[in-house]
Amino acid sequence: MTIGIGELLAGSPDNWGRWGPDDEVGALNYLTRQEVLRGAAEIRTGETIVLQRLIGDPDGDPVSPSRTPARHTMTVDESSWDPGGTGPAFPGGLHYADDKIDAYLQGSTQYDALGHVWYDGRLWNGYDARTTVGGLRKAGIDPIARRGIAGRGVLLDLPPWRGKPSLDPGELFDHHDLEACAESQGTVIERHDILVLRSNYLSRTPRQGNDPGLEFSFALLDWFQDKEIPNLVTDTFANEPPVDRRSGCALPLHCSLMRNLGVVFAELCDLERLASACAADRRYEFFYVAAPLRVHRAAGSPVNPVAIR
């Protein structure tokens, strides 16, 4: 029998008020200037690897069932100057291209705002859920976008550690597995690290909709709180299976890590080039930099994160 998410998480740790009553970026506060410098110290070769999936991919955008793929439209191109076209006449004969997209802000590689998910009528930091009506007046994506994210990133490449090309549908792992995977790579997960978890699940054809991911437990929450993890980055839709197998609750880690602890989530990243580079030189630490688009009162935003090695 499914219990309420509030009942499930009663007594769980939270960081409400930790950074003041007006905070909207949560655990990103851990990423001080010193932490940015610690991340930058991981740069060895200057190699840059972008982690965004292509929007409008001809092979299809990975989108959840409730969302539709991005639609890209050319509004002006060379055909605009064909006979009967509407292309404007510029001095000297200049022509140009212009275009637009109609897309879900969380329909590609993206960051969630801290106000993206809530329960019991309260968002991150205790903001009233009514502040989401018509757009997020609190804990939207813009405060995160204005701040930016930079720090020491650590890739945890789970499929090779488990001896398979990709994780299976619904496959679970916990903080003990993260530590063991890191140890197998010669990596140490340090406080304030940005965790980048590769499942390679989106390579599976067909995908069965039941993402692999972290399994909810209070021990996992305590581990995130003790490590003071600012940002969780994955290549799946939700960083966790859609429904917790024990409680029957949907997305308990969104509710506990994001809503309660202020951990910022990034999802649907392309981690394949990064994984290959890390495996080649057995170096899984890097400088991670990301800045979502500044969108007024939005619940999320596309992003093109960069790993600098």
Are both 129 and 154 inside the same structural domain? yes
Confidence class of residue 1 from pLDDT cuts 50, 70 and 90? low
pLDDT of 142 higher than 80: yes
Checking if the pLDDT of 6 tops 70, the result is yes
- Is residue 37 a part of any domain in this protein? yes
Residues 77 and 186 in one domain: no
Residues 44 and 118 in one domain: yes
pLDDT of residue 57: 86
Residues 239 and 115 in one domain: yes
For residues 187 and 112, state if they share a domain.
yes
158-191: per-residue pLDDT in tens?
A: 999 999 999 999 999 999 999 999 999 999 999 9
pLDDT at 64: 79
Residue 6: inside a domain = no
Residues 55 and 85 in one domain: no
The pLDDT-based confidence of 61 (bands split at 50, 70, 90) is: confident
Residues 6 or more apart whose CB falls under 8 angstroms from that of 119 comprise 4, 5, 6, 9, 255, 259
CA-angle at 285, arms to 283 and 288, nearest 5°: 140
In this prediction, residue 205 carries a pLDDT of 63
Residue whose tokens read 């170096």: 283
Give the CATH number of the domain where residue 240 resides: 3.50.30.50
Residues 81 and 174 in one domain: no
Tell me the whole-structure pTM to 2 decimals.
0.95
| 108 in the same domain as 94 | no
Mean pLDDT rounded to a whole number for the chain = 95
Same domain assignment for residues 265 and 203: yes
The pLDDT tens digits of the residues spanning 210-254 come to 889 999 999 999 999 999 999 999 999 999 999 999 999 999 999
Q: What is the mean pLDDT of residues 84-107?
A: 94
Structural domain boundaries enclosing 289: 13-62+104-308
Burial 146-155 (b: 16+ CB within 10 A, else e): ebebbbbbbb
Number of domains in the chain: 2
Considering the domain architecture, whether residues 177 and 269 belong to the same structural domain is answered as yes
